Amino acid sequence: MRTIQRALQKFNLHVPVQFDASLSEYTTFRVGGPAEALVQPRTTGELTQLLAALAHTTIPLTILGGGANVVVSDNGIPGVVVHTAGLTGVDVTGDGIIAGAGTAISDVAACAADENRPGLDWIYAMPGSTGGAVWMNARCYGGEIAAVLTEVHYVTRAGAPGRYITDPADFGYKVSPFQDGERIITEVHFSAPRQPGSSAALWERMREIEEDRRGKGHFAAPCAGSIFKNDRQFGEPSGKIIDRVGLRGLRHGGAQVSSGHGNIIINTGTASARDIRDLVTEVQDQVYRETGHLLDPEVLFLGDWT
């Protein structure tokens, strides 16, 4: 019997576990090997029990939200992968919206818009979960998660529940206080006061945003959005730098720098995770040689890359 199975049985846990579950279907790049054990808790209670049990072991733990900002190794991820897709739900309160961490962030924006609550419209059509958007402090179309976040409920790795009240000073460009990996986000509270009148204008803006993303090829092939962070010190966005160096269309195996946007790498259909990682390195090397700028990947490489 596997160590993980033994550990879960010892603590009498009844959380559904899939062993050797392929993770490619759980990431927007559509690549990646198996999770040694994939667990999708259906409630915060189940997650808490699982974490408390794992805290007594040396089994590695990885959290996966919508898989929209990660490349999972072809070798997969050892230990337990908690996929948050079961922690869903959206509630409307007086001046805000509360969402389960596994809820698609775009669905939260849609719920807010239906109630004519501005504040989250800018994030509509962005892939990923609500927990992942907080973890990354996602930003686009003039908005940033930290600006609308009021509080976050979490469970620590040791299985203790807690509550974080937003302090904007804790956040920065692609930075959130959750990146030390000690807290698993379970519930997210946003400020989104209702305004009188119809939600037509909000929906119009959201459809424009969706169309804009479509026009930029965001949904044309599997990808993880921007592959590199932007760095103000470089004086121009990473995509422009990559264009200038002439790397649009560059391929490595089944991975390719998008012909439509220099800062997007796509899976043309046959890419392995290694192809994507090698292409990231190749772009970094070429840009560094030509410009002296070292691009920093925004995408996270998860799992065993040995």
For residue 235, what are the contacts with CB-CB under 8 A and spacing of at least 6? none
User: Residues 178, 192, 238, 267: which binds ligand FAD (CB under 6 A)?
Assistant: 178
Q: Which stretch binds ligand FAD (CB under 6 A): 8-16, 63-71, 158-166, 229-237?
A: 63-71
Question: Shortest CA distance to 131 belongs to which of 194, 70, 77, 87?
Answer: 87
- Window 193-232: contact mask with ligand FAD (x via CB under 6 A): -------------------------x----xxx-------
C-alpha–C-alpha distance, residues 268 and 251, integer Å: 9
Please, what's the b/e burial string for 84-113 (b: 16 or more CB within 10 A of its CB; e: otherwise)? bbbbbebeeeeebbbbbbbbbbbebbbbbb
Q: Minimum Å distance from CB 271 to ligand FAD?
A: 14
C-alpha–C-alpha distance, residues 210 and 36, integer Å: 36
Q: Is 187 a catalytic residue?
A: no
Cβ distance to ligand FAD smaller for residue 65 or 262 = 65
Site for ligand FAD in 15-34 (CB under 6 A): 28
C-alpha–C-alpha distance, residues 76 and 50, integer Å: 21
Q: Minimum Å distance from CB 10 to ligand FAD?
A: 25
Q: Is 238 a catalytic residue?
A: no
Residue pair 167/198 in contact by the 8 Å Cβ criterion: no
Q: Which stretch binds ligand FAD (CB under 6 A): 12-20, 67-75, 227-235, 276-284?
A: 67-75
Q: Which stretch binds ligand FAD (CB under 6 A): 50-58, 135-143, 199-207, 237-245?
A: 135-143
Residue pair 23/38 in contact by the 8 Å Cβ criterion: yes
Does residue number 80 form part of the binding site for ligand FAD (CB under 6 A)?
A: no
Among residues 24, 129, 199, 226, the one annotated as catalytic is: 226
Positions annotated as catalytic residues are: 226, 298
